Structure 1
Amino acid sequence: MSHTAAKKSAPTFSETEQRILALAGADLPDGPAPFAAIAEQAGCSEAEVLELLTRLKDEGVIRRFGATLRHQKAGYGHNAMVAWRVDDPAEAQRVGKIMADRPEISHCYIRRTYPQWRYNLYTMIHGKNPGDCMEVVGAISEGTGVTDYQILQSVRELKKISMRYF
């Protein structure tokens, strides 16, 4: 989205809607009817839950529903954040799209630069081992022509959660 594009005002939610969203944003209840269980906990009908979630999905407020894979337990225990320098804003957009299309990349951002840190494009690359991550870095560099980058290895994870908004 362009920074110059008009932004819609944020929706306001009733207390019931906030309860629904808080419950739907957590782990879905086990069982054959998870949305009925959410409705019971939120104090409303399953139809109300489904209507709200469908409407917010259609409006783009909810991006998606999906399973969250614990990547370390699935064998993808290595990652590397890579900071790339792409000076031209249009080229950063083009290269960023190429990077974002790679399945090994979970996050891809353009950020502001500073005089002492000129890197503006960031990717989080995942692999089964460090070599996998390095292969992706090499392939991206070769495929895009971007050769100025820094690989930022994690030393220790201090916190990683899904955000709770209600």
Structure 2
Amino acid sequence: MGIFDPAINAFSILTEILPVEVHVTGAELHFPSNCETPIAGKIRMDGPHGPLVTADIDFLWEGDALWRLIVETEDRTLTLDQGGAVLEIDGIAQHAGAREETNIQGEYDGLYARFADLLDTNTSEVDLRPMVLVADAYTLGKRIQAPEFIDPTRTAN
């Protein structure tokens, strides 16, 4: 899915926390000449009263990996950084308590228990809104040719 592989996680958070539905109204997607998925893009999403979200996604970002979601409102700014590991409100870190590596197993145990419950009750918890945003970006997006992508982490044999 190219840039949408990590972006769909941000879209999941976005659709969960926004008080209104958003829909893609435009996108510019940069496709390398040797790839079938975009390597960079800008996606615009509007809410019921106009422009609401701009997503800038770029695999070619130079520097440390940046996994940041910034939500600006009239009153405050919320930032989720490092893939959601760091939460700031108006630049002030919010602490939810210490998180130890050993707690990760407990998180997975809870997730698998929920999966088992869904199977036992023959129910589903599927939210298609993030995937609809991705599909709409592909459908509505302007395809822009980008230079060939050479993965610097792979070496020729």
Q: The TM-score by the shorter chain falls in which range?
A: under 0.3
Q: Which one has a larger percent strand, Structure 1 or Structure 2?
A: 2
- Larger Cα Rg: Structure 1 or Structure 2? 1
Higher relative contact order (CA 8 A, sep 6+): 2
TM-score, normalization by structure 2: 0.23
